[in-house]
Structure 1
């Protein structure tokens, strides 16, 4: 082999190994050092108050609001704030959760900052409730958020890291017809915040504007939002769903490895998108079980779909997928998204055009990813000599093996969900 050819071969092999190792790192389970789940998003409603001014309703994992900034996660030896120790771990101290506790009120009021027209305002706490994650009521609309906070159920001890917190904040003397900027420093030092989602629903008389983001909260709402801007934000949210969804990225790479060309890859990707949107819409319209075991089962099914897809690509290169098979995989993945952030993003005043814009953004982002990786795959095909154990099969097997560890983690979560029923 000539030196130049050998150099190109080594370069191609380097690209392939980089793709495989990067995906393995992404799919492998990551330690949630902040001790709260990032599968359920923080939900924020900003609306006009009944007596004027602005009211803010917010639901989030209680540890996100209550843990100090220097909390060390699984390595921490301190007792969490507002907690008592039990034989089964810390629980929230019911006696410390009184509405008149000034220390607790100060902590909750610092959970959100609001800036309007260049002036920083500090919301005032009006009410709060603590729920066990499995007992919390709906919070997708202002009406259900108010109902949750007005519940007459007496507070009870809740395991600290299984607690959900609902709070109601007030900003007297302002209105929503201005530029409003919401920020929060909560969790900025926690590793888990990199995967934690927030959905903000901004309710004006003209309609509701929804924005979704991952990470530390920092979002702005201009004085007037046009219909075009609302649809644009939905499309951007769909695109973000793809490039931040590690399971979806794994499936996209497997489709690219199995496809014989551009047309086949994009056709298979479209089948996945159609299935994804069908069950996303079904979940939003309530056609999905509400039992606590459903989400863990769906998450397990998503991980298994990656393992099975990787094995199929390894066993049958070039003939791995079909339209129907990927449609079914998309149906599973769609329910996974409908069970978390999408429920909050689209709940209340559900608009089919917003869902369509979301689907378009999702599809365009997939196409953009294929535009990046398919040329690399085709170049590698030319540079790497054909062999019985081709590099495509090796890459598919690597992805499948990486997803196996995630499958075992989710199997444990599913077993725990059925045990708790």
Structure 2
């Protein structure tokens, strides 16, 4: 009976890890598409300063393919074939002829509801910039300045649509300033990984701006109120999602759990990981790390290696004791430092150091990471203990199968990420 259980567990775990390996990707690929909404309260309504990549506005608006093999171009774009692939460029002639046109597309897709009723907006201004050269947009003052000073992008040379950032200001006349409203989005550009879009909403209804965070296309309305707690919850939830959707983080925590021989040892490991990633989450976010392009893949490679090491510890699992626990604590602190950098890079894609209430948002995100970590522990630890009731063999089989699977996946990541690091280092 125990052999049958062991075989069944081995098949189940192997299948799950194969699925993880196929579906997994480095978490630095997430949240690269960012939309920022600065909501300014006026005496008679709202004014929204919105920044988003141009593909969100036009990617779904190409037409049928013609005899030349090209689809009819989306508004404000042209297209061409490069090496057999269709590429899209911003069209300077259309942008000059209708400078507010992209803004009208953005307004049509941005749904503002007050007391359940949608409010129409009036586009006031539009500015376009090249990705990487756009002016600051972290605060309301920066957003107002970016739009007021106009476009910085020169269209004398062809510019890919994917390299264009659009700033739009839309005014909503309400005759009064609403205390609550709902914000959602009706645009569905059909972009790869668009469900990972990071949306940052900053509301300036009082002297203490509130920051809200959500992910995806914002098809479901985000309720904006003057509740500080509501804003904090959005960052806690994003911290939870980040660790649970970052398969490398999940595998590392799982290996920590299965390698703990008892509850006390588990607490030492989890605490060490928490201490480590909390430190570098803050240091990395505020930029106290190298800025070279090679640094991110180096950290990614280190995270993959940390999973392999944790898997080895899980297989070798030794009896706990004061000295052993302290040793593991130090090791998990060091590993936590690596993972904390990963968390900080993702958060930095969304927030800037000058954003309002930055420490509140940073703390809430970190709490979310902890909640996600605890969730993994609460699933894995009871499962392993339940299996151990069938005897040492099923428990050992499950633990070793999980560890080997995690180590195998992490080995592939080490090769992939290490190669990327070496390629960037040689540039």
Fold similarity call, TM over 0.5: yes
CA contact under 8 A between 2:129 and 2:153: conserved in structure 1?
no
Alignment of 1:43-54 (within 5 A): 43-49=36-42, 53-54=45-46
Alignment of 1:313-332 (within 5 A): 313=313, 316-318=316-318, 322-332=328-338
Deviations 1:273-315 (A, max 9, x none): 22222222224434244555544544444444435544x3477
User: Which residue of the partner structure matches residue 33 of structure 1?
Assistant: none
User: Which residue of the partner structure matches residue 154 of structure 2?
Assistant: 155
Deviation (angstroms), 1:418: 6.2
CA contact under 8 A between 2:308 and 2:411: conserved in structure 1?
yes
Question: Counterparts of 2:245 and 2:362 in 1: how far apart (Å)?
Answer: 18
Secondary structure at 2:350 match in 1: helix
Secondary structure at 2:209 match in 1: strand
Deviations 1:295-336 (A, max 9, x none): 4544444444435544x3477444998223322332232233
Question: Aligned in 2, Cα 1:222/1:128: closer, same or farther, shift over 3 Å?
Answer: closer
Larger Rg: 2
Q: Which moved more, 1:319-328 or 1:191-200?
A: 319-328
TM-score when normalising by structure 2: 0.78
User: Which residue of the partner structure matches residue 374 of structure 1?
Assistant: 381
Question: Counterparts of 1:173 and 1:306 in 2: how far apart (Å)?
Answer: 54
From 78, 86, 96, give the equivalent of 1:83: 78
Unaligned runs of 5+ in 1: 31-35
Secondary structure at 1:306 match in 2: helix
Secondary structure at 1:97 match in 2: helix
User: Which residue of the partner structure matches residue 401 of structure 1?
Assistant: 408
Deviations 1:367-392 (A, max 9, x none): 222111112223334547649x9543
TM-score when normalising by structure 1: 0.79
Secondary structure at 2:269 match in 1: helix
Matched, 1:131 2:138: no
Deviation (angstroms), 1:69: 6.8
From 336, 343, 353, give the equivalent of 1:337: 343
Secondary structure at 2:154 match in 1: coil
Question: Aligned in 2, Cα 1:126/1:137: closer, same or farther, shift over 3 Å?
Answer: same
User: Which residue of the partner structure matches residue 41 of structure 1?
Assistant: 34
Aligned-CA RMSD value: 3.8
Question: Counterparts of 2:100 and 2:35 in 1: how far apart (Å)?
Answer: 24
Alignment of 1:14-413 (within 5 A): 15-28=12-25, 38-49=31-42, 53-68=45-60, 78=71, 81=74, 82-85=77-80, 87=82, 89-98=87-96, 100-101=98-99, 103-149=101-147, 150=149, 153-156=152-155, 157-173=158-174, 176-187=177-188, 189-190=190-191, 192-217=193-218, 218-225=220-227, 227-290=228-291, 293-310=294-311, 312-313=312-313, 316-318=316-318, 322-342=328-348, 344-345=350-351, 347=353, 348-383=355-390, 386=393, 390-407=397-414, 410=417
